[in-house]
Amino acid sequence: MSIHIHPIKAFNDNYIWTLINDNNKQAIVIDPGQSAPVIDYLEAQGLELTAIWTTHHHHDHIGGVAELQEHFPMTHLVAHSEHNVDEDQTIKDGSKVNAWRCTAQVWDISGHTASHMAYVLDIEGSKHCFCGDTLFSGGCGRVFTGTIEQLYNSFKRLNGLPAETLLYPAHEYTASNMRFGLSIEPENIAIQQALLQAEEKTAQGIPTLPVTLAHERAANVFLRADVLSVISGVKAQLPLVDDKPLTVFTALRSLKNDF
């Protein structure tokens, strides 16, 4: 079986990640905030939509769901009960979702919202994690209906995946996140290089995603809250009551809110 993964662009900076089965010309989309770009792409490629998976309830992730269900009546909709859609399969942490002969594990990675799910898909032994608005390359989601403690624990959980796991965030925020990272860790070569690459790719309209977890461990300050240079970079901007990773992570999130 051969599956490849393609980003359909939506709104200004959303990616609707699309799993494409090249053998049977079927497709699965994740977080279709808009229907038109999905329909256009699938029709141009001669693909049939067979499933939709959602990570959380924000409009830019579910806004196209109802129209896609109408357009492709056989579509199987996979969502959490709090995602405000009419799902066929209700998921929660520990659920399993099928993509043809592959299986995705559902992980609760709340914090951005209170019911934010990730899909960790295994394709022939390599892992692909669709992480919505929880982790961005070089950054992390804002806290809306979840809590900062949940978000921190979700980052810890994602960090437990194998280093070569590919991460598929739902937004192209890489360049601005790397600029924020350099305001904390100006000497970090991985962040310096990631910023240059992101600026080049963005200028050419090429996605900076997906990224490996290994890359994020080096270039995402939110995964580096226990690293001395990050702790001192935060302290230079904000007094900290202690050096605990959750305290540093919380301070990073609040500094990013004002960046």
Q: Does 58 bind Zn ion (CB under 5 A)?
A: yes
Number of residues that bind Zn ion (CB under 5 A): 2
CA distance linking residue 37 with residue 9, whole number of Å: 7
Q: Which stretch binds Zn ion (CB under 5 A): 46-54, 56-64, 228-236, 250-258?
A: 56-64
Q: Which is nearer to Zn ion, 171 or 215 (CB)?
A: 171
Exposure string for 33-52, b = 16+ CB within 10 A, e = fewer: bbbebbbebbeeeebebbbb
Identify the CA nearest to 132 among candidates 75, 206, 80. Answer: 80
| Least CB distance to Zn ion at residue 133 (A) | 4
Q: Contact between 31 and Zn ion (CB under 5 A)? A: no
Minimum CB distance to Zn ion smaller for 60 or for 216:
60
Determine phi and psi for 180, rounding to 5 degrees. Answer: -60, -45
CB nearer to Zn ion: give 56 or 128: 56
Assigned token pair, 242: 């202690």
Q: Which stretch binds Zn ion (CB under 5 A): 43-51, 53-61, 65-73, 225-233?
A: 53-61
**Minimum separation from the CB atom of position 56 to Zn ion (A):** 6
Q: Answer yes or no whether residue 133 interacts with Zn ion by CB under 5 A.
A: yes
CA 170 to each of CA 3, 11, 174, 230: distance values in angstroms, whole numbers, following the listed order: 19, 11, 11, 25
Q: Is 83 in the site for Zn ion (CB under 5 A)?
A: no
CB 236 within 8 A of CB 187: no
Residues in touch with Zn ion (CB under 5 A): 58, 133
